[in-house]
Structure 1
Amino acid sequence: MKRSDVLHKNVLDLFVFQDEMHSTLVQALRTGKQTVHAKQTYHNYNGKEITTINHTYPLVRDGLIQGAVEISNDVTKLERLIHHNMKKKEARALPLIPLLDKALRF
């Protein structure tokens, strides 16, 4: 995303969450709650699924929430690789089950 794609825009116009409170940034803005090392999955404005690990901190001045800052580590590729490897392992294990059942009958 370019700066011009996000500057002066509402976060909920840029990213789609299951519901607003699944956004660690929205939680910080609404409740003042900080979030550390939270996994979050959402869809960007192009509809692409993104998974991140977030550290989110509200910015408070004189007791009022002024904004929030979020540091995100995109782990989408890692997440997909893990799921892909798990599916490959499951696919290799499935043919063994009928063989084991057959062997146990003898």
Structure 2
Amino acid sequence: MPHCQNCNFKWSWKDVMVLSLKGKKECPNCNKRQYISPASNFWVTFFTSMAFILPTSFLRAYYEISSSWIFLAIPIYLPLVLLVLPFFYRLSSTRKRFGKTIE
């Protein structure tokens, strides 16, 4: 789980999920605003998309499973991805976009 950049407080899974939906959240311990780091945001997006693309292409190519079965598996697969994602986030005290600090 990620730690606050100011006070090194370990965030809970619920707090990280709120942060991932809003993009910013105050630390529960020191009340300083925290953001998802740009590198963390990139890698979480990359691995989430690859987690969908690679298994579906592998299953269709080698096992000839139809698209309808793959779409039926998504409601099972999506909660698993959401359970694991908060463990890969890193926090930042500043909000950056395209290498420039915002706010």
Query: Do both proteins adopt the same fold according to a TM-score greater than 0.5, normalized to the shorter chain?
Result: no
Q: With structure 1 as the length reference, what TM-score do the two structures score?
A: 0.31
Q: Which has the higher strand share?
A: 1
Q: Which has the higher helix share?
A: 2
- Bigger Cα Rg: 1
